[in-house]
Structure 1
Amino acid sequence: GKKWLVMPAAFYVNTLRSIPLVMVILWFFLLIPLMIGKPMGAELSAMITFTVFEAAYFSEIMRAGIQSVPKGQVHAGYAVGMTYGQTMQLIVLPQAFRNMLPVLMTQTIILFQDTSLVYAIGAYDLLKGFEVAGKNFNRPVETYLVAAVVYFVICFSLSMLVRRLQKKIAIIR
């Protein structure tokens, strides 16, 4: 409700959610070192980029999760004499976390998939590891296929885990 906090936060979230991740990766790899006057390196640049970029998505998930809790729950907490902090800790956040857990895990899977984009700046990741192996064994096509299978197995397994978790914590209304 504080406009001086809401406006910058909304600008940050909406801006980063409107820009492709690969562009943000390139900004942090190419432009930020020019602005600060020293190189950061591909790995550090990638870590900062993912932190800044994914924070926008995770914060939006948190906001939506908190807003999914009915206002009556908050008013009930105040009615029994709880403070704002107690209401959030004991009433709102447990219910919100239950609502946002599957979405948080899905966003984490997307983050794992997006790490392959650091290939554009030469940072070392899972895909780069497969590329190096392909060069070492002179089998680039096969190693890229194996990389695709590894990404698929990891992401599919995690998405099945999310589905099971979603069924387990679902509230029947």
Structure 2
Amino acid sequence: MGYDFDWVSLQRAWPYLLQGLQMTAFLVAASMAAGIGLGTLLAITRIFAPRPVAALVAGYVNLFRSIPLILTILWIYFLMPVVLRSVTGDPNLSVGPIYAALVAFVLAESAYYCEIIRAGIGSVRAGQMQAAQSLGMSPWQAMRHVILPQAFRNMTPSLINQTIALLKDTSLVYVISLNDFLGAASKVGQRDGRVVEVYILVAVVYLVLCTAGAWWVTWLQRRKAAAAI
């Protein structure tokens, strides 16, 4: 017995699906920006800080790279309110799913970005720092104006790849009932009895976005290779 596809229901539900897609885009953009910022600080600390501090950062990175992301989301969503209530004394204090998701993604992704950025800094020749300091720059000025710009150019493809992984990971927010693109599509499919159609649409959208990101990485790598010749 054949299956009768009905795509009209998706057209009617598109405004709701678009809201979910906007939530996914917000989670990716905010988590990427904050994750790269925190990851940069962690990478610099791990490279240049005293050994005990660097060891603490390494422990942080290893922790969040070792545990499943879905577990981090659940930890933040269920445990953070308990901690905040004990600190503030407010028994009614709660953490919404958006804030819980953002905190979880930033904590987890910053650990991955940290290792990417640390490798990017290591790819810059050591003489660059010495040359900058010989011109009168402080170590921080040399890092900011000389080392990091070169490092980010070198590691842009890796950062994009990690962001593509982040895009796919945002679908895990269903566990805390946050209405992202996949969550909105699931609700539409169950409501209208068109689960097959909505999941095909979700797969196509993620495929297009991830393929575009992968193409961008390939283009950057070819451009870098051509410039090196």
Question: Residue 119 of structure 2 is aligned with which of 54, 64, 85?
Answer: 64
Are residue 141 (structure 1) and residue 189 (structure 2) matched?
A: no
Aligned position for 2:228: 172
List aligned pairs for 1:66-145, cutoff 5 A: 66-145=121-200
Question: Do the aligned partners of residues 6 and 143 (structure 1) sit closer, same or farther apart at CA in structure 2, a change above 3 Å counting?
Answer: same
> How far apart in 2 are the matches of 1:96 and 1:35?
38
Question: Do the aligned partners of residues 80 and 50 (structure 1) sit closer, same or farther apart at CA in structure 2, a change above 3 Å counting?
Answer: same
**Aligned-pair Cα RMSD in Å:** 1.8
> How far apart in 2 are the matches of 1:39 and 1:100?
38
Structure 2 counterpart SS, 1:40: coil
> How far apart in 1 are the matches of 2:147 and 2:97?
40
Q: 1:12 corresponds to which letter in structure 2?
A: Y
Which consecutive unaligned segments of at least 5 residues does structure 2 have?
Answer: 1-48, 86-92
Larger RCO: 1 or 2 (CA < 8 Å, sep 6+): 2
Q: 2:77 corresponds to which letter in structure 1?
A: F
Report the alpha carbon displacement of residue 169 of structure 1 after superposing the two structures with TM. Answer: 2.8
Cα shift readout 1:4-50 (whole Å, capped 9, x = no counterpart)? 42122111111111111011111112222233333312222111111
Are residue 34 (structure 1) and residue 90 (structure 2) matched?
A: no
Identity %: 42
Structure 1 counterpart SS, 2:193: coil
State the TM-score, normalizing by the size of structure 2: 0.69
> How far apart in 1 are the matches of 2:198 and 2:140?
52
Which consecutive unaligned segments of at least 5 residues does structure 1 have?
Answer: none
For structure 1, which segment, 88-97 or 72-81, has the greater mean C-alpha deviation from structure 2 after superposition? 72-81
> How far apart in 1 are the matches of 2:196 and 2:142?
56
Cα shift readout 1:92-129 (whole Å, capped 9, x = no counterpart)? 12211111111111111111110001112211111011
The list of structure 1 runs, each at least 4 consecutive aligned residues, that deviate by more than 6 angstroms after superposition, is: none
For structure 1, which segment, 12-21 or 30-39, has the greater mean C-alpha deviation from structure 2 after superposition? 30-39
> How far apart in 1 are the matches of 2:213 and 2:100?
27
| Paired residue total | 173
Are residue 162 (structure 1) and residue 225 (structure 2) matched?
A: no
Report the alpha carbon displacement of residue 172 of structure 1 after superposing the two structures with TM. Answer: 2.2
Q: 2:203 corresponds to which letter in structure 1?
A: A
Q: 2:108 corresponds to which letter in structure 1?
A: F
Report the alpha carbon displacement of residue 145 of structure 1 after superposing the two structures with TM. Answer: 1.7
For structure 1, which segment, 84-93 or 42-51, has the greater mean C-alpha deviation from structure 2 after superposition? 84-93
State the TM-score, normalizing by the size of structure 1: 0.90
Question: Do the aligned partners of residues 41 and 78 (structure 1) sit closer, same or farther apart at CA in structure 2, a change above 3 Å counting?
Answer: closer
